[in-house]
Amino acid sequence: MATFLDIIAAGPLLTIQDGGRPAARRYGVPPGGAMDRFALAVANRLAGNQPHAPAFEITAGGTQLRCSTAITIGLAGADLQARLNDTPLVPWYSAVAPAGSTITFGGRRGGWGGRAYLAVAGELAVEWAIGGAGTCLAGGFGGYQGRALRAGDRIIVHARSAMAADGMRWWPSDRRPPYGPQPRLRVIPGPHADQLPMAWIGLLSATWQIEQAASRQGYRLAGAILPSFTHSLASFGIVPGAIQLPPDGRPILLMADAQTTGGYPVIAVVIGADLPLAAQLLPSDRLVFAATDLATAYAALAEQAVWLAAGPEDDESGELLAQAGAIG
């Protein structure tokens, strides 16, 4: 069944994202995909899709969409005051949107969170390129015309029939990363930490703030000036989560759309399990770093894989949804 989602308002940044293009890094293509891949996977599981299927990434709110027919949706990530017509939508739940209804995202609520993920039961008719369907803003491909969505765009969805009688699904809070204000991001030493020991110590000692120079490519951090190299390095491979240290001593935390190579020293790397926490940061948000080891990093990622494999829970009575709405 084909349906339409019309974009009424797009907000600061509305894109279609999926699980990324990790295999395309060999060609110099950014891995891309959802900034918060855990929340993307949950939204898709709530909607009955595969975890890394394309979905909408809403940044900071200000977004409104209208559906032409009844659809089942899954919502996860930040609480951006989502509403289905006049009814609040609680994150980490599924819902049925009746034909002609509007889904609106206002702005942050609860002191944290920059990105929400809206999945639609079925398949978004989007552009697949170089092994993925996520929007690559730098390359101008994937998603919808290789760009951010804007008012007036129409997304076709090959949707599955929405069945309100099936009951709603929800994602338990004990199977989510520890989202919240001023997250503690665990890091392992980068390849240049031994050569810049005072920079490593300074990184762990300071409280950092996201500067206005923040994007899907990376965040410039303010909080301390760290000692760095004065000489240039040969370019080498880098990954999302790497913390680069330019000559000015102001660190840069690389995110989903990070370039594949770079020449600044890397003093630390945020572990994969904590990248969802970093993905929910916006300019002016604060964070701290804490040292960990590879064994802990692997164990934390494996734990999240177990959570995702377990899938959502049923809430046929709507009782848990009512409780969540009262808390929110």
What percent of the chain has a predicted confidence (pLDDT) above 70? 94
Query: Could you give phi then psi for residue 209, rounded to 5 degrees?
Result: -130, 140
Tell me which residue of 283, 282, 278, 218 sits closest to 245, measured CA to CA. Answer: 218
| DSSP codes, 218-273 | EEEEES-PPP--SS----EE--TTEEE--TTS--EEE-TT--SEE-S-EEEEE-GG
Q: Where are the domains of the chain?
A: 2-171+312-327, 184-306
In a structure prediction context, what are the per-residue pLDDT tens digits for the chain, which is 328 residues long? 789 999 999 999 999 999 999 999 888 999 999 999 999 999 999 999 999 999 999 999 999 999 999 999 999 999 999 999 999 999 999 999 999 999 999 999 988 999 999 999 999 999 999 999 999 999 999 999 999 999 999 999 997 876 554 568 999 999 999 999 999 999 999 999 999 999 999 999 999 999 998 999 999 999 999 999 988 799 999 999 999 999 999 999 999 999 999 999 999 999 999 999 999 999 999 999 999 999 999 999 999 999 999 999 997 655 556 556 544 4
Inter-residue contact 55 to 119 (CB < 8 Å) = yes
Which of the four CATH numbers 2.40.100.10, 3.40.50.2300, 2.130.10.30, 3.40.50.620 does domain 184-306 have?
Answer: 2.40.100.10
Inter-residue contact 139 to 105 (CB < 8 Å) = no
